[in-house]
Amino acid sequence: MKVQGLTGNKVRATWRTAAQRLEDARRDKHLIEVCVPGSFTAQPLDRVELTLPAMGVEGVFTVQTAESVCGDAGVSCTLTLRE
């Protein structure tokens, strides 16, 4: 399977083996996307502690992406987190 990857600011194509694709899928099962009001300065690979008792989520997660936006509802930040 050919997928796009980044090296610095250059897009490059990489080949993934079946084992690598299965490992990617396994890791992606443990992604959490959280939208919080206000701006939140997080960078990929930062570690954040998240506790959502009503959903049974608690732990320290690694930031995969962080996107702050300013819209009609004000400023918010969407974080994609991985266990």
Structure tokens of 57? 């989520």
| Per-residue pLDDT tens over the stretch 3-51 | 455 555 655 656 778 887 777 777 666 788 888 898 878 888 999 999 9
- Closest CA relative to residue 2, chosen from 15, 17, 11: 15
Residues 29, 13: contact at Cβ < 8 Å?
no
Count how many Cα atoms sit within 13 Å of the Cα of residue 54 in the half-sphere of its side chain: 0
pTM of the model: 0.61
End-to-end CA distance of the chain: 25
Neighbours of 40 (CB within 10 A): 18
Helical ranges in the chain per DSSP H: 18-28
